[in-house]
Each structure stands twice: as C-alpha cells, then as structure tokens.
Chains A and B, each alone.
Chain A
C-alpha cells in the first residue's frame, strides 16, 4: 500500500537547559486511506507525535517524509501550503474562530488559498456542513453553538479542502458519550466515502478498537502496534 507519511528515527527533546525527551527513535508509517488510532497515557508523547506528523512541530532528530519528501527541505510557506491542502486538523478544543460563523469557519481553509469563492465552493462548504448535520445552524456565530456542534463544525472545516489526511487529537475529549459515538461514526463514514487517511488520538479504548490499526505509545516509545 502507498505510504502517505513516514517517520524515521524521530526523537523529540523539549527544553535546552533541562532536557526532557518525549519521543525515542520512533519509526512509523501510515497507509493512504487507513483509519488509525493512537492511544496512550497522558504525557506518553502521543500528542507530540501527532503534531510532528502534522508538521506543526519539528523533530529534534530523525526524518519526516511526506510523499517521499523530507520536510526539512521545505520552506515555511511550502509547509503552510502543504498543511492547507493535505491535512485537516481536529483538535480536542475544536478551535473555531469565534469571530466567524460556522459556514465562514468551514470556508476558511479555502479562503487561505486566496482563490475566489465560487458558487461551487460555497456548495461544497454547505455540503460538508450537511454531512455533519449542521445545515440548519450554518449561519450561527460559532460561539452560539453547543460543544458537539462546534466539534462537528471543526470536522466539516477539516474536510473543506478534501485533505488526504485528517489528524484528530482527542476529538471527542470533552463530549458526552452519545456525541462521541455520533462523531466516530461520522469520521468512519468519511473515511469510507472519501478514502481519507485518519490518525486519531483517543484515550477511549472502546473507540480505539473501531480503528483498523491501534498504536499504543508508552513513555515515548511504541509499545503496541496492532493492525486488524
């Protein structure tokens, strides 16, 4: 299978005076279109790993290859463009822009490309909101929506540019179990329909077990890597 991203001997050390190593020689790759979950205790290094995969953070040593290209060789603007076109992020605290409506938030990744918003683009944004069941509240300010609605808006936003990969860090961390179930079913549907690669951090084993592959991180190392 084609690899969307590859990590080679990735180490991450925080701090300059007092050094804290978070990741130890991680070697990992992900197949295109796969649905992966990362589990592990707090402080195990799983969020750091996800941020390095998403090019938000950089490895202290080791290489991150995207479609065979090393991100070390990419400029800031290239990385920005790569994130914009290829990756959709869903964070635990949804991180919508409070100044904008749900629809405008969903359109934002497209706006960043500085291309004109055509009717077709607008329809695509509305369709993404419909997919997450928010077509009725799409013109609400993002601050006037419930936690679950905001998180679903964030998912719709992550899907806007048809990314190859969606990285989600505890996307249901602050939601009740019913909403959690709905959102995972939604992510799974998207994975099947659009062949989008998912890498999801969760502390919920029940949820993790729904994934094709479970990776457990313990003390900065891969403790377990099971593919169903």
Chain B
C-alpha cells in the first residue's frame, strides 16, 4: 500500500503538467456541479419563498353550508399543537363586497385579520406592516387598507371615505381608507381590502366567527405541508373542515420545480460521467506510458496487487486534489455570481443556497468516481506481463 502510494505520487509528480491538467479537469467538473447545484437549490428556495413565503401555506376552512367557523380559539390552539413545524397561525374572516367610488365600482374581498391585536400572527404571514406603502394598519372601526393599484386607478387618497356595498344585504357602509399595501401581486392589490377581524365581523353583522384559519410552516418543512395537513385532519376531522395546502394549489409550480430538479440532477450526473470518463481515459494512457516501469517492477518481483494500488492511488490523489480545488472554484464561482449577477436594485438575481453537506457530497462523489475510474487501469496494470515489455523494448 505504502509502496503503491509512493510510486503513484512519484509517477504523478514526474509528469506534473499532465497531473495538473487532470486535476483541473476534475476541479472544473466539481465546481460546475457545486455551482449548478447551489444555483438550482437557491433558485427553488427563492421561487418558493417568493410564491408562498407571504401567503397561507395551509388553510383550514369550513366544509359546511354555513361557511363560518365558531369557537375558533380552541380550534386554533388544537391545530397549533398538532405539528411543531407550524410557526404562524391566524384566523381570517373573508367576505365579498363592492367598492363604490364616485361613479365607479368593483368587487372587493374584505379580509378581516386580527392585526390590531398584539398577539396577531397575520402580520407575520402576509408581512402586512412592511407592505404598507402609505398610511398605517387599521385599528379602529370602519378603517380599511386598500391595494396600491386602487390608488393608482381611482386616485383614492389616505383618509378618504369610500362606500362598501354589501350585495347580499343591499346595504352601504362607509369606511375610511387608512393606507395602501403592495403585496407584489396585481390581483391582490386590486381585489383585497384588509381590515381588522372585529371590524369585518361588524361590517357583515356577524358574531365572533371566522371563515378560515391560515398558517405557515417552518422553512425546512415547506414541502411537507401535505403531511402536516393530514396530521391536522386527524386531529380536527375532515368532515367538518376542508384543509388545503399550497402544494395542491400550486401544482404547476411544483411540477416546474420538479422539472428543474431533474434537469439539475441530469446535468450533475453527466458532469460526473464526463469526469469519470476523462480520468479513466487519461489513466488508461498513463498505464501505457508507464508500462515499461510496471514491467521492470514486475521483473524485480513487485506483486500484481501492488501495481493495481499504484493506479488506484493515482485516482485517489487526483480525485482528492481535484475535489478540493473544485470546491474552492465552485465557491468562488458562486460568490462571484452573487456579486456580479445583480438586479437593478443591487440584490443578486438568484440567492445561491450554499449547503455544506451538498458540497461535501460533491467532493466525495468526485473522489469515489476518480477511484472507480482508476479501477480499469488498475486491473490492466495487474495483467501486464513483464516479459512482453522486456521482449518488445
């Protein structure tokens, strides 16, 4: 083993330019793998974050004809206890109404959150307070927030009174616009009106009821929402309640993510294959280059297994240095990408996701692949016959 390592090291160092070239080849393969992997993982995390990061990931609503949920406090605490991955949970009262402004009108969804209460988590789900571009959070009766698009379209200003028309009751209520929000989604910015839960209840002449419970889960559990939904259903029963998670609502996004993952794996697999083939072919040539030396060593009595170890060690050394260099390259490339590929506002186009376990795995794969690539040359070298080399000098 030690002799094999020594000879392998000497073979590699005696032809240092070729050795560096092979190591560079492996390093580029590893760095591409790390970069692509980090990019795709970052892209996916960013996409998921942007799509569902500020919305309800699991929504519990009533299954009954009467769509209101009574005594929701206990239900909320029951749900919150089912799974530790649930980080934010909030009651909501949704109702349809019309906005009347001057001679214009349009439909609105009046969303009542408990945003006026200190323990409110609705703000955490929708990040409302940070999304307010003008004005403040409603905290008194008849105060509402409207989407930024309505300000643009109708020229409504903060402090103005607008009419809310309840079609089913044929009643008009006056509400004061206390601010505008921008949720970065046009349909929400035109259709939503946000108010406090108690105001929403009052507006629609309801008791202390809600229409749904919205929640978010831990970032790491984002793809486990279907399982969490099942757990919730087991606790609260699925006859009375309908439980929807984001994965059901975003099938096209999910299949897009999946496609992305598969193409990323494909790229990585082909990178590994090309690295393996290049190492194997170069080592195969090395066996030919060094066949004279192998023949001499065999004449001197070196065992076949030791000559195999020479080439396995060559693979190991090349793989190790290639992996180390590749990891450095990959991290450098990723760093450069986040520094130079920027949006207009200076934020990176894609936030890379640097996972140390993924990087370690990529390095390990390169080392294992290099040793595997050395297997064929190792077997060939053990079959080399000293006499063939000496006779054919």
Task: Give the dominant DSSP class at B's interface.
Answer: helix
Assess whether B10 is in contact with A100, with CB atoms less than 8 Å apart.
Answer: yes
Residue A24 is within 8 A (CB to CB) of chain B in the complex: no
State how many angstroms separate the Cβ of A78 from the closest Cβ of chain B: 10
Given the contacts A51-B387, A114-B3, A108 and B300 also touching, CB distance less than 8 Å: yes
State how many angstroms separate the Cβ of A140 from the closest Cβ of chain B: 14
Question: With a CB–CB cut-off of 8 A, which chain A residues contact B104?
Answer: none
Assess whether B299 is in contact with A89, with CB atoms less than 8 Å apart.
Answer: yes
Tally of A-B Cβ pairs under 8 angstroms? 69
State how many angstroms separate the Cβ of A222 from the closest Cβ of chain B: 21
Question: With a CB–CB cut-off of 8 A, which chain A residues contact B304?
Answer: 76-77, 80
Residue B390 is within 8 A (CB to CB) of chain A in the complex: yes
Assess whether A99 is in contact with B10, with CB atoms less than 8 Å apart.
Answer: yes
Residue B136 is within 8 A (CB to CB) of chain A in the complex: no
Given the contacts A77-B303, A81-B301, A108-B300, A51 and B3 also touching, CB distance less than 8 Å: no
Assess whether A112 is in contact with B302, with CB atoms less than 8 Å apart.
Answer: yes
Question: With a CB–CB cut-off of 8 A, which chain A residues contact B391?
Answer: 47, 51
State how many angstroms separate the Cβ of B95 from the closest Cβ of chain A: 84
Residue B298 is within 8 A (CB to CB) of chain A in the complex: yes
Residue A95 is within 8 A (CB to CB) of chain B in the complex: yes
State how many angstroms separate the Cβ of A22 from the closest Cβ of chain B: 11
Q: How far is the CA of A123 from the CA of B72 in the complex (A)?
A: 91
Given the contacts A91-B390, A114-B2, A82 and B301 also touching, CB distance less than 8 Å: yes
Residue A189 is within 8 A (CB to CB) of chain B in the complex: no
Assess whether A112 is in contact with B10, with CB atoms less than 8 Å apart.
Answer: no
Provide the A190-203 mask, 1 if CB < 8 A to any CB of B, else 0. Answer: 00000000000000
Q: Which of B301, B306, B390 is packed against the most chain A CB atoms within 10 Å?
A: B301
Assess whether B11 is in contact with A112, with CB atoms less than 8 Å apart.
Answer: no
Assess whether A95 is in contact with B303, with CB atoms less than 8 Å apart.
Answer: no
Question: With a CB–CB cut-off of 8 A, which chain A residues contact B393?
Answer: 91-93
Given the contacts A47-B391, A93-B393, A80 and B303 also touching, CB distance less than 8 Å: yes
Query: A-side interface residues toward B, CB under 8 Å?
Result: 47, 51, 54, 56-57, 76-77, 80-85, 89, 91-93, 95-100, 108-109, 111-112, 114, 157
Q: What are 14 residue pairs bridging A and B, where the CB atoms are less than 8 Å apart in the complex?
A: A76-B304, A80-B301, A81-B303, A84-B300, A95-B292, A98-B293, A99-B11, A99-B14, A99-B293, A109-B300, A109-B301, A112-B302, A112-B303, A112-B306
